[in-house]
Amino acid sequence: MSRNTSRREFLLTAGGAAAGIGLASVIAVEPARATPATMQEAIRKVVGPARVNPGRVKLELPPLVENGNTVPLTVKVESPMTAADHVKALHLFNEKNPQPDVASFRFGPRAGRASVSTRIRLADTQTVIAVCELSDGSFWSASVNVVVTLAACLEDA
Amino acid sequence: MASALINAPPRAKRGEIIEIKTLISHPMETGYRRTQLGALVPRDIIRLFVCTYNGTEVFRAELHPAIAANPFIVFSTVATESGTLAFQWTGDRGFSETESVAITVD
């Protein structure tokens, strides 16, 4: 190697360093918000290696939400709810809140009906996904796209 | 401080599916908000809600910060026998609240 760094070498190193810094800042910024990828990861964590089929779950959410701080939501699954065939759990996920999990509801055959209503927060216009786990080990899901006018979570306290 | 409201039918027929509505006052502080000085407001949420029917668990909800303030949960159960429906909420900062209602099944 020559003692003088050539212009080409210098540019290469400098470019690499700049790219490194850029990448680092992207990584540092990321946890502020869940992404579709982190949502998929959260779903994977609950579901495991099983396949998630579309259907059977009914997710009711208003398509247009004025206030993301309280969004009424109902999830239902048609099921006989007997000891042999019932819904074990219902999980809710979102794409763009700071955290992908919303809630997990667990039922037994004594729940009678696999239906839950609650109120959630949504930080942005996004897709909400409900995944249900049946007693036979299969997973079913439904998703709804919601437009949010006033976002939750991010305002000052 | 916290107070809970339960709406459940006091009487039911055996085998009937009853709907139970629960509401509890709680700020459900997400832990992502900042004060105007930039300090992060620590998380303070209810993490778990459990409903037991004469000691047997019938419904359980694991909550995250994405649940709105004053968690409102509606679910159902089968009226099997007379007794009590007990509800328990537990959360951050040692939050724990219990409530129970009596039900007569005939």
DSSP A18-68: HHHHHHHHHHHHGGGS--HHHHHHHHHHHHTTSPEEE-SEEEE--SEEEET
How many Å apart are CA A20 and CA A125, to the nearest integer?
A: 32
Return the SS3 of A109. helix
Which pLDDT belongs to residue B85? 93
Q: Which chain B residues are Cβ-neighbours of A113 within 8 angstroms?
A: 17, 76
Token pair 């979102």 in the structure block, residue: A94
Token pair 């409903």 in the structure block, residue: B51
Chain B positions with Cβ closer than 8 Å to A: 17-18, 29-30, 32-36, 41, 53, 56-69, 71-78, 80
Task: Identify which of B30, B35, B72 has the shortest CB distance to residue A156.
Answer: B35
pLDDT digits (tens, 9 = 90+) for A69-115: 899 999 999 888 888 889 999 999 998 888 899 999 999 888 888 89
pLDDT digits (tens, 9 = 90+) for B80-90: 999 999 999 99
- Whether chain B has a CB inside 8 Å of the CB on A99: the answer is yes
Contact (Cβ atoms closer than 8 angstroms) between residue B93 and residue B36: no
Q: What is the CATH number of the domain that holds B85?
A: 2.60.40.10
Q: Domain of B76?
A: 4-105
Q: What is the ipTM of this complex?
A: 0.89
- Whether chain B has a CB inside 8 Å of the CB on A71: the answer is yes
Specify the pTM. Answer: 0.80
Q: Which chain B residues are Cβ-neighbours of A89 within 8 angstroms?
A: none
Domain count, chain B: 1
pLDDT at residue A22 tops 60: no
Measure A3 CA to nearest chain B CA, in Å.
Answer: 49
Q: Which residues, including other chains, have CB under 8 Å from residue A147's CB and lie 6 or more apart?
A: A63, A64, A65, A125
pLDDT digits (tens, 9 = 90+) for B36-82: 888 888 989 999 999 999 999 999 999 999 999 999 999 999 999 99
How many Å apart are CA A53 and CA A39, to the nearest integer?
A: 16
Sheet containing strand B72-78, edge to edge, reads A57-60, A71-77, A114-120, B72-78, B17-24, B4-7
For B48, the token pair is 């778990």
H or E element that contains A10: helix A7-29
Q: Which chain A residues are Cβ-neighbours of B30 within 8 angstroms?
A: 98, 121, 153
pLDDT at residue B34 tops 90: no
Looking at the DSSP assignment, which residues form a beta bridge with residue B63? A103
Q: Which chain A residues are Cβ-neighbours of B59 within 8 angstroms?
A: 105-108, 111
- The 3-state secondary structure of chain B reads CCCEEEECCCEECCCCEEEEEEEECCCCECCCCECCCCCECCCECEEEEEEEECCEEEEEEEECCCECCCCEEEEEEECCCCEEEEEEEEECCCCEEEEEEEEEEC
Statement: A34-150 belongs to CATH 2.60.40.2470? yes
For A76, the token pair is 């239902």
Nearest CA to B48 among B95, B100, B99, B102? B95
Nearest CA to A74 among A108, A115, A105, A112? A115
At residue A60, what is the residue type?
Answer: E
At residue A3, what is the residue type?
Answer: R
Return the SS3 of A137. coil
Task: Identify which of A102, A117, A153 has the shortest CB distance to residue B33.
Answer: A153
pLDDT at residue A130 tops 50: yes
Domain positions in chain A: 1-32, 34-150
